[in-house]
């Protein structure tokens, strides 16, 4: 299987590239900065915020292989903080990377898969794409956008033999935590007095979360399925339970649970 993954420098992307390559797939991955190159993986320098980079990366795979069997939209970043204090530039950066980064690559991947009348598209959302998380509102918004886009896309392309699959991870111990851009103004901490404690709780959950290799193993299984599900929540039992509770509880009850958890 020929697989293109965005963002393989670290975290999920690196773990998936390593696992899928070890299983014999021909793996291509994009990166902006990379310190260690995995054997058996072809690296393509590309920024998901650039239309030209996206086009060139897809074309490089086609030139080498003539097809793309699976595309995994993984590249992303996070911006944290009270929404009032998140700049408009930060909001644009968050959406331009997480959502438009996916859209740019799909603009060039979709015609390929439609022509070959087959393909699997795996797009990384998050549990934060299923519920609005306090002090992670920009991140949640970008993942909600991915959810809506993929739900529509799935219906449009299923007659061409293309599967569209949403991946919704919970907390994982990756470099995502250290690379998150968080609002640090003194005024933000003074106005939103729970922000500091909530941020510490968020980072604790992430650093103590599951390992990316666990997710990579799940992704390998999903790619082997002939009829994959529409979405997969990959997380601890407690986090999967939170998604279920959001579906069945009155909205005010669930909001109260989140407020308590984030010490609001």
Which of the residues are catalytic? 9, 125, 139, 143
Residues 6+ apart with CB under 8 A from 113: 68, 71, 119, 121, 157, 160, 162
Are the C-beta atoms of 126 and 168 separated by less than 8 Å? yes
Burial profile 80-106: b = 16 or more Cβ within 10 angstroms, e = fewer: bbbbebbeeebbebbbbbbbbbbbbbb
d(CA 52, CA 199): 36
Can you spell out the DSSP letters for 177-213? Answer: HHH-EE---HHHHHHSTTHHHHHHHHHHHHHTSB-HH
Beta bridge partners of 166: 123, 231
- In the chain, how many H helices and how many E strands? 11, 9
In angstroms, the Cα distances linking 189 to 137, 167, 181, 205, 223 are 16, 33, 15, 20, 44
Both tokens of 136, joined, read 């992670």
DSSP β-bridge partners for residue 29: 5, 43
**Parallel, antiparallel or unpaired: strands 41-45 and 26-31:** parallel
Which residue(s) pair with 181 in the sheet? 79
């Amino acid at each position: 299987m020929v697989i293109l993954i965005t963002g393989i420098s670290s975290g999920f992307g690196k773990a998936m590239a390593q696992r899928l390559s070890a299983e014999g797939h021909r793996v291509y991955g994009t990166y902006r900065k990379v310190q260690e190159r995995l054997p058996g993986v072809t690296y393509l320098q590309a920024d998901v915020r650039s239309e030209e980079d996206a086009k060139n990366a897809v074309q490089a795979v086609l030139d080498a292989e003539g097809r793309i069997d699976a595309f995994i939209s993984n590249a992303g970043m996070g911006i944290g903080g009270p929404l009032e204090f998140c700049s408009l530039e930060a909001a644009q950066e968050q959406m331009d990377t997480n959502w438009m980064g996916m859209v740019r690559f799909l603009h060039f991947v979709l015609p390929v898969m439609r022509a070959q009348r087959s393909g699997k598209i795996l797009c990384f959302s998050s549990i934060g794409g299923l519920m609005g998380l306090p002090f992670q509102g920009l991140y949640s918004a970008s993942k909600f956008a991915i959810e809506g886009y993929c739900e529509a896309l799935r219906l449009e392309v299923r007659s061409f033999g293309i599967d569209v699959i949403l991946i919704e991870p919970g907390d994982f111990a990756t470099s995502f935590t250290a690379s998150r851009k968080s609002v640090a103004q003194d005024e933000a901490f003074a106005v939103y007095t729970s922000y500091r404690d909530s941020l510490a709780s968020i980072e604790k959950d992430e650093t103590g979360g599951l390992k990316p290799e666990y997710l990579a193993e799940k992704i390998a299984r999903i790619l082997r399925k002939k009829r994959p599900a529409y979405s997969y929540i990959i997380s601890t039992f407690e986090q999967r339970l939170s998604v279920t509770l959001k579906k069945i509880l009155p909205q005010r009850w669930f909001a109260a649970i989140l407020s308590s958890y984030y010490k609001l």
